[in-house]
Amino acid sequence: MKQEYIITVFSEDHIGLLSRITIVFTRRKINIDSLTVSESAITGVFKFTIVIRETPDRVEKVVGQLEKIVDVLKVFANTNDEMIFQEIALYKVSTEFLFESDKVEKIVRNSGARILELTREYVVIEKTGHSDETQRLFDELNVFGVTQFIRSGRVAITRSNIERLSVFLKERDAMLEQVD
Amino acid sequence: MATQRISGSEAVILSLLEEGVDTIFGYPGGAIMPIYDALYDYDQQVTHYLTRHEQGAIHAAEGYAKVTGKAGVCFATSGPGATNLVTGLADAMIDSIPVVCITGQVSSPLLGTDAFQESDVVGITMPVTKWNYQVTSADEIPEAIAKAFHIANTGRPGPVLIDIAKDAQFGMFDFEYKKCTKLRSYLPEHPVDPFQVKAAADIINAAKKPLILFGHGVMIAHAEAELKELIGKTGIPAAWTLLGLSALPTDHPLNVGMLGMHGNYGPNIKTNEADVIISVGMRFDDRVTGKVAAYARQAKIVHLEIDPAEINKIIKADAPVLGNAKKSLRMLIDNVNTNSHEEWIKEFRACDKIEYDKVIEKDIYPTQSGLTMGEVVRIASEKTNHDAILVTDVGQQQMIASRYFKFSQPRSNVTSGGLGTMGYALPAAMGAKIGMPDRVVFAMAGDGGFQMTIQELGTIAQYNLDIKIIVLNNNFLGMVRQWQQLFFEKRYSFTEMKNPDFVGIAKAYGLASQKVTSRDQLETAVQEMLDHNGPYVLEVVVEKEDNVFPMVPAGASVSDIILEP
């Protein structure tokens, strides 16, 4: 059965690595639903957070292939319930709706969103949450007309209190010593 | 080491010398000219072979790597020079061959401007290299080359490519070389886990009908002696994959032959009867397994493998042993019981008898009027005391040669296994001969594959590379024709070839040559070729519509192997 997985790739900071990583997915015709890249808590180590829908077996194989990439340090695959994750969405609606009634204001308030910028012409609303939540807000606002909308890739963090990679790096050092 | 101020180009050569390189295959061009200019001053330390096409250079580098175990090195220029390497890179990638390619690139300010002979080489070669890197500043060169050799040679080997912008080749810097031995993000091999070895040994010790399958990984790890010792101690019959050929002598009493689509009858049938399969340094390629759902379902699988991604990739392992085959075999030998499996081995020998009577005898001692590829292979092997290096192309001759050529030393078989690259044999044989100048090297090709890289006869002539070239000519793309006959109702769609006068072509290149059309000329002709001092092209006109059997039809189980149409 296919389900949503969050794949976290820890890597060295090298140009072209994103391409090498995505090739592993495209070669197997796996669509990447979302992708976020940023530096991790460890300086010089980058983190790719990739969301795909796949079977556990295919995910296991993709992880194996990703870990073969020379500049990749470690790859983790998790189901949604194993991680805390968020996406951020921005919505632009015309300011007139805000003054016509209190409906837009109520929607924003009830959904835990906030107004980022208010001008004569438009208002920019920001909402953080899971994609079904940001989508719900979109549907509600779109009754009035959302003129622009953007949702970020997913950011995700484990429920453990340390960065998993720190443990890995220690083990890796020990293994490299052993193989010599 | 003291630093010295030199150009990036000279640094390329000095770095290669630091890595022990004395042989380069390549082809110059605009963007790599500074490196070639630097090379001009080092002709005492390194020999460069000018091939006739970049594909020839990389296949030669592969052949060299295959017989020596050292990384092959090849140079090419930017744009078309680099793109011509792609087939060889893909070939080396899938067959785990260490190759270091250095390509010239346009100057860094021109990158991305569609400059003359610019192509995105790093982008193009990403899926077909173990690692690649673009250098845009001279001072990056030593570190990039050091990393390249470390990555190409260690773990599961593979091709790497360094793309060097022309301005980096000209740039001056203080050169200092430090070998790369460790990268944080790259673990070449896992330390072997004694618990995994113990679990594997327990399964082996309890086995009644065990079968060892061994592949290229045995030779990559230089574990031939360990393999032999394991087989000897446990008495377990062992079968080789196409790339495992020569890891064990052909005539070893427990060598039961080749696996796979055109392998031997016994090991294919018995794969589905064994209670334990011990696979060593092989990856269950689809040409070995046939239909995976019907492959060795009854057997417990022990898988000795260096690449974690190969474990459970195709066949689930009951006892995986991760790590270098030499180390894991050594530990396994210490944990298995001395044993013998005489009754079980008799079953293989019974299969051999069936195969000999139905297939082999008429292949290698034919009574039909036309010559067979099998008899040519048998004679070539016999006349060199089964001690030559065999380089094959792809297709019928490859399968026939792999079945009937015999080996006494490891690293004696060079062929394109995973990618199935036609045109491989001739250039790969150049690398093999240069790597092992004292051994007899056969290049065996069909009329199709021979013509794909036929221009390398020029290289062979220029450097007088003493290669014994056998062209098995049936005026057909034989393997495709065979499939058309068996599975496409004999609709021979574009497989027949009108060929040139091969002897005439060889002579035009200044090479000795002769054409054989009948059986009574064959032995003498092979002998004359071997007696000739220097390269030789022997064209043998073989039966036009012969087939390779046995055969596991595509999509069938290994136990459904057929001996005749």
pLDDT tens-digit map of B142-183: 999 999 999 999 999 999 999 999 999 999 999 999 999 999
User: Which pair of structure tokens corresponds to residue A142?
Assistant: 């779109």
- The arrangement of strands across the sheet holding B131-135 comes to B47-50, B23-26, B72-76, B99-105, B159-165, B131-135
Structure confidence by residue, pLDDT tens digits, B362-383? 999 999 999 999 999 999 999 9
Residue A180's pLDDT is what? 62
Q: Residue B1 above 90 pLDDT?
A: no
- What does the block give as tokens for B185? 């993000």
B404 and B438 inside one domain: yes
Q: Does A103 touch chain B (CB under 8 A)?
A: no
Three-class secondary structure of residue A129 per DSSP: strand
Q: Chain B partners of A179 at a C-beta cutoff of 8 Å?
A: 187-191
- Flag the least confident range among A38-47, B66-75, B97-106: A38-47
Å from A86 to nearest chain B CA? 28
B-chain residue closest to A72, CA distance: B185
Q: Which residues of A touch B182 (CB under 8 A)?
A: 176
Residues of B noted as catalytic:
54, 116-117, 166, 479
Give the pLDDT of residue A63.
98
Q: Domain for residue B188, yes or no?
A: no
Q: Checking phi first, is residue B432 left (phi over 0); if not, alpha (psi -120 to 50) or beta?
A: alpha
Cβ distance A70 to B130 less than 8 Å, yes or no, reads yes
Same domain, B200 and B124: no
Candidate from A19, A67, A70 with C-beta closest to B151: A70
How far, in Å, CA of B429 to CA of B433, rounded? 6
Q: Is residue B564 assigned to a domain? A: no
Residues B411 and B384 in one domain: yes
Q: What is the pLDDT of residue A162?
A: 78
Please, which residues 256-315 of chain B have a Cβ atom closer than 8 Å to chain A?
307-309, 312-313
Whether the CB of B126 is below 8 Å from some CB of chain A: the reply is: yes
Tell me, yes or no, whether B136 and B280 share the same domain.
Answer: no
Q: How far apart are CA B114 and CA B112, in angstroms?
A: 6
**Residue B325 Cα, gap to closest chain A Cα (Å):** 13
Min distance B133 CA to chain A CA atoms (Å): 9
CA distance B186 to chain A (A): 5
For residue B244, the domain's CATH number is: 3.40.50.1220
Total number of domains constituting chain B: 3
B135, part of any domain? yes
Nearest beta carbon to residue A61 from set B126, B307, B313:
B313
Residue B54 structural domain: 4-175
For chain A positions 137-166, those within 8 Å of chain B (CB to CB) are none
- Give the Cα separation of B254 and B228 in Å (integer): 9
Residues B123, A172: C-beta atoms closer than 8 Å:
no
The answer to whether residue B456 is domain-embedded is yes
Is B383 buried (19+), middle (13-18) or exposed (0-12) by CB count in 10 A?
middle
Mean pLDDT on B464-482:
98
CB contact under 8 A, B309 and A61: yes
A11 touches chain B (CB under 8 A): yes
Cα separation, A63 vs A80, whole angstroms: 16
Domain membership of residue B559 (yes or no) is no
pLDDT of residue B251: 97
Residue B554 lies in a domain: no
| Residues B374/B401, Cβ–Cβ less than 8 Å | no
User: Does B357 map to a domain?
Assistant: no
CATH 3.30.70.260 correct for A3-82:
yes
**Statement: residue B2 has pLDDT above 80:** no
> Could A12 and B185 be called an inter-chain contact, meaning their C-beta atoms sit closer than 8 Å?
yes
* Interface confidence: ipTM more than 0.90: yes
Average pLDDT over residues B292-297: 97
Q: Average pLDDT, stretch B115-131? A: 97
B-chain residues within 8 Å CB-CB of A16?
122-123, 126, 132, 134
Q: The whole model's pTM is what?
A: 0.96
State the CATH number of the domain containing residue B449: 3.40.50.970
Same domain, B281 and B144: no
Q: Which residues of A touch B306 (CB under 8 A)?
A: none
Same domain for B432 and B307: no
Q: Looking at CA atoms only, how far is residue B351 from chain A in angstroms?
A: 37
Show Cβ contacts of residue A162 under 8 Å, excluding neighbours closer than 6 positions.
none
Same domain, yes or no, for B316 and B420? no
**Residues B261, B163 share a domain:** no
What CA–CA distance (Å, rounded) separates B501 from B207? Answer: 57
Instruction: For residues B528 and B391, state if they share a domain.
Output: yes
For B185, the closest of A15, A71, A180 (CB atoms) is: A71
User: B33-44 pLDDT, tens per residue?
Assistant: 999 999 999 999
Return mean pLDDT, chain B. 97
pLDDT score of B21: 98
Annotated domain spans of chain A = 3-82
CA-nearest of B271, B206, B131, B325 to B560 is: B271
